[in-house]
């Protein structure tokens, strides 16, 4: 047996090399050299040899794409770099404004790479020393769910990077879109229907569901594919443009789009958009627009990003798909914020690969303006190809119409008298309205708020509708036996939920503020309020004038925030939560006031930290980290390849610090970087 091992080891090595080569030709080059049967012969031989010599099996072997381990839950994984969403619009004028902003900031000598906007599930895939080590969903953009074993099952994903044409970096994080082709999707649904199972609504849902299977073998049976389009992080990074990055990705073995183009002209982008839209139904994959990115990676660092999206990229969306169907009934629906929305129940219609049976009518003024009634024939569309909306009524001469729809005078959920705020009808009962409470409960446990694992939308609804939660504070009094009475819960899952709730009871002020669902308060505003006021009591007691002193809070926003905390019922809910149920970690003055009142801008590349790490460090100690230079800026920290921000700082007389001076400045303030 010992004498045979070298030949077996050599043959295994040869087979793995050959299979990886043919995978690359098939999935990346779309130019296979051998038939599927010949490929299967190679694969079976490798599998047989590894079965005889299990000690020679390695994690990156092509046979190890389908693991046998079934997971209880997905682990959380922090991304190597933020996976931000894109600012988008379907109007050409919005694209021109995007271009004008960049040219104003960077000058006219800029170039773009334009690519299709694929409609799939975004993932991060990470390699160390050329081997796939982890993969994660996008999640909240900073932390996703670990789906490494599921991504391994996708044949187009290289388990080992190619280095024949370009040396693979020691560390590489890439972003891609996991999808199912339209042809494979239709075949998958045919198989489901043949087995009397529910078909998928669209390819995106099928792909996303395939990625989030606790059993990787289920993922392997889904016809998942991937296209990689960005380098999130690399050490070393030896490309300077997006065009070079796409070429490098192909050389390392990743499938990339062959429809990317380079241009400096907005009119050329619009022509590309129109051409792709005209060919949309003939393409292999679902797309919902085009993505425009700055080609120069250094210029991307120069313009930076907001907390939600990069300033160097933009999505020019396609017009939404439209179809005609009939309104069966109209009913008022109460959302998390108390807005009562008229919803039309429709005769089901296929709309862009999705079966639509209900659509929003927005508000009472829209219903009146469009004069939509039960029984009407209407044209519907998916706004942003996501949310179904009724666009207009289709005239039917001679057909008798139903009665005009009128919004209710009382909340259909709790019976409270509704209020009219502009065009909106609102239930003021906040946390005591069951429909609002279910939505608020789900929001309270969301990832950006208290992050309660297992408290999904359906679970939140069941907790309220089954009478286990009558107020937000009741969530923290839940016991395992009570949760087990809910449909779909057994002892273990009930224990997990109760334990997750207990773990979430120790939280931060910013998360708590966000979880309360205060009007106008998103992630960034919640952080600003927490940094400025330090305690929940101070936030609750703040006047409108005091609130407007918080950076980023205007007068209208301040009125909404003050109104929320001035509401007697809302205050009672907060007091109940803080009465031995939720503990908000104090913000120590020494941790937050050392840089209070300072505004700092970072430009260029830093060696000691990433730009985000530097921004978060100064924010932690009370400073504002902004992306633009103004007279109010106190310091600009200048890294390598700094551009116009440093020039503007000099012109305005703003103090400029090198990275070494910045580190010394922090230490002088008592902050160890």
User: What pLDDT sits at residue 415?
Assistant: 93
User: What pLDDT sits at residue 194?
Assistant: 67
Name 640's bridge partners. Answer: 605
Q: With 80 as the cut, is the pLDDT of residue 3 above it?
A: no
The mean pLDDT of 639-665, rounded to a whole number, is: 84
Cβ atoms of residues 448 and 523 within 8 Å: yes
Report domain 590-668's class. alpha beta
Alpha-carbon distances of 607 from 170, 602, 614, rounded to whole Å: 18, 13, 11
Q: Could you tell me what percentage of the chain is helix, strand and coil, using 3-state DSSP and rounding each to the nearest 5?
A: 40, 20, 40
Would you tell me how many other CB atoms lie within 10 Å of the CB of residue 366? Answer: 16
Q: With 60 as the cut, is the pLDDT of residue 1 above it?
A: no
Q: With 70 as the cut, is the pLDDT of residue 5 above it?
A: no
Cβ atoms of residues 298 and 240 within 8 Å: yes
Check residues 199 and 428 and name the one with the higher pLDDT: 428
- Select from 1.20.1530.20, 3.40.50.720, 3.30.360.10, 1.10.150.20 the CATH code of 509-587: 1.10.150.20
430-504 maps to which CATH number?
1.10.150.20
- Band (pLDDT 50/70/90 cuts) for residue 350 is confident
User: What pLDDT sits at residue 468?
Assistant: 94
- Residues of the chain above pLDDT 90, percent: 41
Name 421's bridge partners. Answer: 424
CA pair distance 156, 604, nearest whole angstrom:
35
Q: What CATH topology corresponds to 88-317?
A: D-amino Acid Aminotransferase; Chain A, domain 1 (3.30.470)
User: What pLDDT sits at residue 591?
Assistant: 45
User: What pLDDT sits at residue 581?
Assistant: 94
User: What pLDDT sits at residue 206?
Assistant: 83
Half-sphere exposure of residue 253: CA atoms within 13 angstroms, side-chain side:
26
CA pair distance 13, 21, nearest whole angstrom:
12
Q: Output the DSSP codes for 312-374.
A: TEEEEEPPPPEEEEEEEEEEEEE-TTSEEEEEEEEEEEEETTEEEEEEE--SHHHHHHHT--T
- Band (pLDDT 50/70/90 cuts) for residue 66 is low
Q: With 60 as the cut, is the pLDDT of residue 4 above it?
A: no
Catalytic site residues? Answer: 117
Per-residue pLDDT tens over the stretch 321-331: 778 889 998 98
User: What pLDDT sits at residue 129?
Assistant: 93
Q: With 60 as the cut, is the pLDDT of residue 6 above it?
A: no
Per-residue pLDDT tens over the stretch 606-629: 877 877 678 778 877 778 777 778
Q: Which long-range contacts (CB under 8 A, 24 or more apart) does 71-75 make?
A: 71/149, 71/214, 71/215, 72/214, 73/214, 73/453, 74/137, 74/145, 74/146, 74/147, 74/212, 74/214, 75/145, 75/146
Per-residue pLDDT tens over the stretch 398-451: 899 999 999 999 999 999 999 998 888 999 888 889 999 999 999 999 988 999
Alpha-carbon distances of 594 from 277, 529, 666, rounded to whole Å: 53, 17, 9
CA pair distance 283, 237, nearest whole angstrom:
33
User: What pLDDT sits at residue 93?
Assistant: 92
For the chain, count helices (H), then strands (E). Answer: 25, 24
Cβ atoms of residues 24 and 70 within 8 Å: no
Question: What residues contact 445, with CB distance under 8 A and at least 6 apart?
Answer: 451, 452, 455, 460, 475, 501, 504, 515
CA pair distance 428, 433, nearest whole angstrom:
9
Q: Which long-range contacts (CB under 8 A, 24 or more apart) does 144-147 make?
A: 144/76, 144/77, 144/79, 144/83, 145/74, 145/75, 145/76, 145/77, 145/212, 146/74, 146/75, 146/76, 146/77, 147/74, 147/123, 147/211, 147/212
The mean pLDDT of 505-523, rounded to a whole number, is: 90
Q: E strands within 471-591?
A: 506-507, 583-584
Cβ atoms of residues 256 and 107 within 8 Å: no
Question: What residues contact 270, with CB distance under 8 A and at least 6 apart?
Answer: 92, 95, 316
Cβ atoms of residues 285 and 203 within 8 Å: yes
Angle at CA 451, nearest 5°, toward 450 and 456?
115
Q: With 60 as the cut, is the pLDDT of residue 385 above it?
A: no
Q: Which CATH architecture has domain 5-65?
A: Orthogonal Bundle (1.10)
431 DSSP 8-state letter: G
Check residues 319 and 673 and name the one with the higher pLDDT: 319
The mean pLDDT of 290-300, rounded to a whole number, is: 94
Nearest to 107 by CA among 667, 668, 644, 616: 644
Kindly report the backbone phi and psi dihedral angles of residue 426, in degrees, each rounded to the nearest multiple of 5, phi listed first.
-130, 135
Cβ atoms of residues 80 and 126 within 8 Å: yes
Q: What CATH topology corresponds to 322-421?
A: OB fold (Dihydrolipoamide Acetyltransferase, E2P) (2.40.50)
Distance between terminal CA atoms of the chain? 58
Check residues 247 and 595 and name the one with the higher pLDDT: 247
616, two tokens? 């978060």
CA pair distance 122, 113, nearest whole angstrom:
19
The mean pLDDT of 369-389, rounded to a whole number, is: 80
Per-residue pLDDT tens over the stretch 147-194: 998 999 898 899 999 988 899 999 999 999 999 988 888 788 777 766
The mean pLDDT of 269-286, rounded to a whole number, is: 89
Among 65-79, 94-108, 215-229, 547-561, the least confident range: 65-79
User: What pLDDT sits at residue 590?
Assistant: 45
Whether the model pTM is above 0.75: no
Q: With 70 as the cut, is the pLDDT of residue 647 above it?
A: yes
Cβ atoms of residues 200 and 209 within 8 Å: yes
Cis peptide before 236 (omega within 30 of 0): yes
**Angle formed by the axes of helices 266-278 and 92-106, nearest 10°:** 150
Half-sphere exposure of residue 525: CA atoms within 13 angstroms, side-chain side:
21
Each domain of the chain, given as residue ranges in start order, spans 5-65, 88-317, 322-421, 430-504, 509-587, 590-668
Nearest to 621 by CA among 648, 653, 594: 594
Q: E strands within 153-224?
A: 171-179
User: What pLDDT sits at residue 56?
Assistant: 81
Nearest to 258 by CA among 415, 160, 116: 116
User: What pLDDT sits at residue 240?
Assistant: 93
Alpha-carbon distances of 134 from 137, 173, 174, 233, 672, rounded to whole Å: 11, 9, 11, 14, 32
Where is 500: in which H helix or E strand? helix 491-504
The mean pLDDT of 202-206, rounded to a whole number, is: 80
CA pair distance 183, 210, nearest whole angstrom:
16
Q: How, if at all, do strands 599-603 and 635-638 pair? A: parallel
Q: Of how many residues is the chain composed? A: 673
Would you tell me how many other CB atoms lie within 10 Å of the CB of residue 255? Answer: 23
User: What pLDDT sits at residue 620?
Assistant: 73
271, two tokens? 């022509």
**Angle formed by the axes of helices 203-211 and 182-194, nearest 10°:** 80
Are 430-504 and 509-587 equal in CATH topology? yes
């Amino acid at each position: 047996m010992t004498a045979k091992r070298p030949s077996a080891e050599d043959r295994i090595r040869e087979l793995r090399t050959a299979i990886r080569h043919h995978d690359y030709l098939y999935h990346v080059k779309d130019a296979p050299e051998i038939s599927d049967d010949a490929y299967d012969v190679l694969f079976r031989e490798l599998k047989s040899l590894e079965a005889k010599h299990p000690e020679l099996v390695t994690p990156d072997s092509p046979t190890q794409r389908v693991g046998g381990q079934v997971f209880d839950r997905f682990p959380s994984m922090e991304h190597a770099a933020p996976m931000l969403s894109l600012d988008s619009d379907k109007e050409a004028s919005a694209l021109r404004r995007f271009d004008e902003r960049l040219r104003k900031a960077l000058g006219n000598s800029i170039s773009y790479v334009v690519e299709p906007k694929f409609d799939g599930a975004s993932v991060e895939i990470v390699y160390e020393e050329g081997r796939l080590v982890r993969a994660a969903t996008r999640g909240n953009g900073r932390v996703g769910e670990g789906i490494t074993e599921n991504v391994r099952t996708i044949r187009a994903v290289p388990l080992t990077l190619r280095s024949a044409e370009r040396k693979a970096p020691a560390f590489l994080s890439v972003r891609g879109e996991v999808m199912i082709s339209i042809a494979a999707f239709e075949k998958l649904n045919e198989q489901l229907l043949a087995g009397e199972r529910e078909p998928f609504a669209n390819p995106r849902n099928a792909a996303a569901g395939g990625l989030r299977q606790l059993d990787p073998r289920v993922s392997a049976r889904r016809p998942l594919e991937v296209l990689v389009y960005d380098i999130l992080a690399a050490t070393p990074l030896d490309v300077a443009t997006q065009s070079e990055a796409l070429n490098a990705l192909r050389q390392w073995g990743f499938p990339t789009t062959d429809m990317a183009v380079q241009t400096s002209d907005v009119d050329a982008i619009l022509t590309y958009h129109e051409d792709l839209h005209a060919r949309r139904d003939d393409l292999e994959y679902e797309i919902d627009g085009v993505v425009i990115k700055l080609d120069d990676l250094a210029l991307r660092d120069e313009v930076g990003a907001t907390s939600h999206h990069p300033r160097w990229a933009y999505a020019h969306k396609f017009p939404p798909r439209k179809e005609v169907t009939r309104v069966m009934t109209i009913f008022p629906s109460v959302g998390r914020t108390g807005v009562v929305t008229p919803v039309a129940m429709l005769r089901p219609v296929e709309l862009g690969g999705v079966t639509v049976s209900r659509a929003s009518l927005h508000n009472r003024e829209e219903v009146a303006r469009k004069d939509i009634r039960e029984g009407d024939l209407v044209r519907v569309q998916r706004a942003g190809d996501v949310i179904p909306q009724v666009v207009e009524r289709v005239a039917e001469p001679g057909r008798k119409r139903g009665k005009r729809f009128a919004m209710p005078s009382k909340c259909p959920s709790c019976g409270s008298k509704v209020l009219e705020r502009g065009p909106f009808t609102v239930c003021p009962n906040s946390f005591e309205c069951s429909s609002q409470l279910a939505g608020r409960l789900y929001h309270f446990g969301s990832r950006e708020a208290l992050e309660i694992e297992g408290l999904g939308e359906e679970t939140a609804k069941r907790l309220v509708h089954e009478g286990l939660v009558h107020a937000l504070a009741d969530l923290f009094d839940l016991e395992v036996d009570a949760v087990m009475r809910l449909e779909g819960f057994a002892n273990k899952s009930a224990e997990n939920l109760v334990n997750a709730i207990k773990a979430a009871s120790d939280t931060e002020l910013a998360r708590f503020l966000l979880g309360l669902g205060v009007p106008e308060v998103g992630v960034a505003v919640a952080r600003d309020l927490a940094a400025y006021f330090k305690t929940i009591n101070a936030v609750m007691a703040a006047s409108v004038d005091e609130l407007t002193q918080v950076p980023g809070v205007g007068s209208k926003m301040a009125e909404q925030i003050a109104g929320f905390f001035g509401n007697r019922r809302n205050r009672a809910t907060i007091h109940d939560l803080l009465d031995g149920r939720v503990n908000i970690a104090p913000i120590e003055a020494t941790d937050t006031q050392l840089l209070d009142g300072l505004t700092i801008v970072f430009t260029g590349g830093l060696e000691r930290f990433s730009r985000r790490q530097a921004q978060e460090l100064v924010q932690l100690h009370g400073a504002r980290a902004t992306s633009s230079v103004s007279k109010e800026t106190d310091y600009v920290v200048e890294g390598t390849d700094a551009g116009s921000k440093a020039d503007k700082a000099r012109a305005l007389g703003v103090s400029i610090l090198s990275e070494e001076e910045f580190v010394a400045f922090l230490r002088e303030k008592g902050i160890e970087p």
